[in-house]
Structure 1
Amino acid sequence: MVKASETSDWQSPEVVRYATGDALGVINRSLYTDHLNGVVSKGEPTTSPKVSKEEPPDNPTTVMVSDCGDDTHWLKYKKDGSPFNDSPGGRRSITAEVKKQADGSWKVTRFAVEGVGSC
């Protein structure tokens, strides 16, 4: 999503490599909204994801991932380079469900990003 957000490319094939289901829908809608509003993202978030749960424990097909991401340096701008809004970003609680796919790949199927200051 970070790479696709640089151009608000809601049709990026890279996003499909890593997300499916509800997660893919949320990401695509977010990128499409940014595209319609003439908004792109610059910079990168800082993340340190950790596995918080594996199901089933002996041979996982679903993994829950938790993080306290920081989007202070990943902000939205209008295409002319001016800031889109005055939101400074910050540390946010992030949880994601990642599932093993039929082809053996792992993809994010659901995720939640909480508000600034949630971790």
Structure 2
Amino acid sequence: MWQAMARAGETSDWQAPELARYATGNALTTITRSLYADHFNHVVSKGAPRNNPAVTAVDPPDAPTTIRLSDCGDSTNWLQYKEGTNELVDNSPGGHRRIYAEVKKQADATWKVEQFAVEGLGSC
């Protein structure tokens, strides 16, 4: 999901079809709204985050339909710029943030992120 968001962020394409391949529900709404705001404000992203999620819970244990993940995402090399420039939008260098996500099995047997939360810079 994060890699798809990074690719869409290169042009702030809030309608990128790839986003719905990995996210649904609140997660997809959060991503598309964020990308739309970037589009509206002429902001693009360059680079990509680094993630290494770990499973923290599986429900139900015998035949999972929900998986909870935790991660310490690294946005050091995934920054926002004013469109068409190399000028950073925010002087923040990026960094590590705690991420929690809930992934659910869909009716078509695929798994998609339904919701996530990202804590502040330096939270992990």
TM over 0.5: yes
Cα shift readout 1:54-86 (whole Å, capped 9, x = no counterpart): 000111000001100110110000112211120
Distance of 2:91 and 2:21 partners within structure 1: 32
Measure how far apart 1:111 and its partner are: 0.1
Q: Are positions 1:5 and 2:9 aligned together?
A: yes
Q: Structure 2 unaligned runs (5+)?
A: none
Measure how far apart 1:2 and its partner are: 1.2
Distance of 1:91 and 1:83 partners within structure 2: 18
Residue 115 of structure 2 corresponds to 110
Distance of 2:84 and 2:14 partners within structure 1: 20
Identity %, equivalent residues:
62
Q: Normalized against structure 1, the TM-score is what? A: 0.98
Residue 51 of structure 2 corresponds to 47
Q: Structure 1 unaligned runs (5+)?
A: none
Distance of 1:4 and 1:63 partners within structure 2: 25
Measure how far apart 1:87 and its partner are: 1.2
Residue 81 of structure 2 corresponds to 77
Residue 15 of structure 1 corresponds to 19
Distance of 1:62 and 1:85 partners within structure 2: 35
Residue 33 of structure 1 corresponds to 37
SS in 2 for 1:16: helix
- AA matched with 1:10: W
Q: Normalized against structure 2, the TM-score is what? A: 0.94
- AA matched with 2:19: V
Distance of 1:37 and 1:48 partners within structure 2: 30
- AA matched with 1:39: V
Measure how far apart 1:46 and its partner are: 1.0
Residue 65 of structure 1 corresponds to 69
- AA matched with 1:12: A
Runs of 4+, deviation exceeding 4 Å:
none
Distance of 2:78 and 2:103 partners within structure 1: 23
Cα shift readout 1:29-49 (whole Å, capped 9, x = no counterpart): 000000000000001111101
